[in-house]
Structure 1
Amino acid sequence: MGIFSRFGDIINANLTALLDRAEDPAKMIRMMIQEMEETLVEVRTTSARVIADRKEQERRVARLQQEASDWEAKARLAISKGREDLARAALAEQQAVEDSLKACSRELTIIEEQLQVLHEEIGQLQQKLDDAKAKQKALLVREQTSRSRMDMRRSGNREKLEEAFRKFDAYERKMDNLEAQLESEDLGRGRSLHDEFAELERNDKVEEALAALKARMSGDSRSDS
């Protein structure tokens, strides 16, 4: 089913309002343009037929005008020859032809008026079609702009995430280097369990040696006395 049911619907249509209500404006505008183009073809086809009718009617008018002139010329000839009876007959024929001529002229006027209406309708329809195509271009530009902005935004977000990851990795490497430096400075400073026991053993030996020295010195003092 078409968007428009008749030519008047297209002319009176508010394209902007229709597009605002549409779920898919791009699809809607394509359908509008297609229907407008089809209607324009129909109206132009009708115009072509009316133009052909006008040409045929113009030929009839010209033929009747010539025929009326011919009967008038015959009437003049009859009068010049003293044949008024023939002149009257010729004038009667002329009158009948002129009556037909008037009827044809009225029909030609109606055809001209019809063509004028069709011409105006074609102009209005063409303007609506141009407006629809302009709106279609605007929609395409908006769609392309939105896609470009979305792509740029997505690209920008990816770059921000990648930058954050790079900073985090750099921070981890910095901390690893700092910890490694601290560990390297502590090398040789730490005391193992073996070292602790060895020190205790050394202390015991020192105490034993001190006690022995004191004992010897005490023995020597008693001997001197």
Structure 2
Amino acid sequence: MAKQSIFGRIAQLAKANINSLLDQAEDPEKMLDQMVRDYKANITEAEGAVAQTIGNLRMLEDDYNEDVKASQEWGSKALAASRKADEYRAAGNPTDAQKFDNLAKVALQRQISSENEAKASAPNIAAQTDVVEKLKTGLQQMHGKLGELASKRNELIARSKTAEAQTQVHDALKSIDIMDPTSEVSRFEEKIRREEAKVRGQNELAASSLDAQFNSLEDLGEQTEVDARLAALKSGGTPAQPAISPAADAVDEADFDKL
């Protein structure tokens, strides 16, 4: 009964603490550490209760041993008084013989009383011994469970850290996924593409402007040649005739026939 009450109360306390921690569940490592501390506290409380139970058993055993010892002592006294009575009776002294016989009877009564007390406490001692053994076994089991809890704590914390690391790696990989249009790399690449396109547009504009400048130079060269020939005509000279195709020559003669 004592075993059930002690360990039952401790088990309820441990369960209540664990459930409370699980409900909070803020930090797995802190939660598991708290569970280990609470279980150690429960073991300490159980050890105190078991120690008290063992102490009570030892007191019963001491009383039993004292009763047994007293019974033996009273038995020895009864024997001594009986022998003394026999000596006086043999010496022809019945009065002293009777006196020591009476002392022997008193000693025997005390012996019987001590024996009865010892017999009465024996079943209680046996029951308490059985309880103490069960309590010791329960404590050993609790220490074993504490070892399992500590080992499980280490395993769960390792798994928690592994899961956290995997999550961090996954998030890191996702953040640099070049196929993901929302990633930083993709946005940076898009920005560079726009800058490259802008540069190409500027190059096209620059090329178009350069072609226009060369065209202007060609027009300017042709006009310069015309002016030079006109000046030669006015001065009475004969300007050099450029090579022209017959078709072009025919067109020019037709125009000049109209003059």
TM-score relative to the length of structure 2: 0.62
Indicate which of 10, 21, 38 corresponds to 2:6. Answer: 10
- Correspondence for 1:218: 254
- Correspondence for 1:192: 207
2: distance between equivalents of 1:213 and 1:183? 50
2: distance between equivalents of 1:105 and 1:47? 19
How far apart are residue 130 of structure 1 and its match? Answer: 2.1
- Residues 184 and 12 from structure 1, CA distance in 2 versus in 1: closer, same or farther, beyond 3 angstroms? closer
1: distance between equivalents of 2:41 and 2:164? 33
- Correspondence for 2:84: 74
- Correspondence for 1:146: 156
- Cα distance per residue 1:6-43 (max 9 Å; x no partner): 7651155583x654443244454233212111112222
2: distance between equivalents of 1:181 and 1:85? 141
- Correspondence for 2:131: 121
2: distance between equivalents of 1:8 and 1:219? 135
2: distance between equivalents of 1:214 and 1:117? 146
Q: Do 1:64 and 1:97's aligned partners in 2 also have CA atoms closer than 8 Å?
A: yes
Mean Cα displacement is larger for which, 163-172 or 144-153? 163-172
SS at match of 2:166: helix
Indicate which of 136, 141, 150 corresponds to 2:146. Answer: 136
Letter in 1 for 2:156: S
Moved over 4 A (4+): 11-14, 169-191, 198-205, 207-210, 212-215
- Correspondence for 2:46: 36
How far apart are residue 172 of structure 1 and its match? Answer: 7.8
Is 1:88 the counterpart of 2:98 in the alignment? yes
Q: Do 2:88 and 2:94's aligned partners in 1 also have CA atoms closer than 8 Å?
A: yes
Q: Do 1:60 and 1:104's aligned partners in 2 also have CA atoms closer than 8 Å?
A: yes
Letter in 2 for 1:154: E
- Correspondence for 2:64: 54
TM-score relative to the length of structure 1: 0.69
2: distance between equivalents of 1:151 and 1:20? 26
Percent identity among equivalent residues? 10
1: distance between equivalents of 2:116 and 2:8? 32
Letter in 2 for 1:33: I
Is 1:105 the counterpart of 2:126 in the alignment? no
How far apart are residue 70 of structure 1 and its match? Answer: 0.8
Q: Please tell me whether Structure 1 or Structure 2 has the larger radius of gyration of its CA atoms.
A: 2
- Residues 40 and 20 from structure 1, CA distance in 2 versus in 1: closer, same or farther, beyond 3 angstroms? closer
Structure 1 gaps of 5+ residues are: 1-5
- Cα distance per residue 1:101-120 (max 9 Å; x no partner): 00011122234334323322
Q: Do 2:46 and 2:139's aligned partners in 1 also have CA atoms closer than 8 Å?
A: yes
Structure 2 gaps of 5+ residues are: 22-34, 179-183, 227-243
The alignment's C-alpha RMSD in Å is: 4.3
1: distance between equivalents of 2:38 and 2:138? 15
Q: Do 1:11 and 1:124's aligned partners in 2 also have CA atoms closer than 8 Å?
A: no
- Correspondence for 1:161: 171
